């Protein structure tokens, strides 16, 4: 399976969420990054195990944090669109990002 690819804004979104977690509790930011890394690896290993939520976009919820990794498949490649808090208006954000790819 090829390495996952990401939307250009994904890294900034992860940094912002990491900073927020780290401000609340030192070390929590690193745990958040590790949770995202594990989720992306799981999505890459078995993307079909993740539910399709909108059109061809799949979601994998993080276990400890109220965030989800949103991605789609193109051939054998996983494209990570975003890492969003579960309370966000996901449909609008995902539609905009999917059109950019």
What's the confidence (pLDDT) of residue 101? 64
Q: What is the pTM of this model?
A: 0.87
Q: Average pLDDT, whole number, for the chain? A: 89
Output the pLDDT for position 65.
96
Whole-number pLDDT of residue 92? 73
Domains and CATH numbers, the chain: 5-100 (3.30.2310.20)
**Banded model confidence at residue 1, pLDDT cuts 50, 70, 90:** low
3-state secondary structure of 69: strand
Distance separating alpha carbons of residues 77 and 15, to the nearest angstrom: 23
Look at the alpha carbons of 24, 84, 1, 52 in this order and tell me if their dihedral is positive or negative.
positive
pLDDT of residue 59: 93
């Amino acid at each position: 399976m090829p390495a996952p690819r990401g939307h250009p804004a994904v890294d900034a979104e992860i940094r912002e969420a990491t900073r927020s977690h780290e401000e609340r509790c030192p070390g929590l930011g690193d745990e958040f990054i590790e949770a995202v890394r594990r989720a992306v690896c799981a999505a890459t290993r078995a993307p079909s195990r993740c539910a399709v939520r909108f059109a061809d976009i799949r979601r994998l919820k993080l276990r400890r944090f109220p965030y989800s990794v949103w991605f789609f498949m193109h051939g054998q490649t996983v494209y990570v669109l975003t890492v969003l808090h579960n309370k966000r208006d996901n449909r609008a954000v995902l539609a905009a990002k999917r059109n950019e790819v």
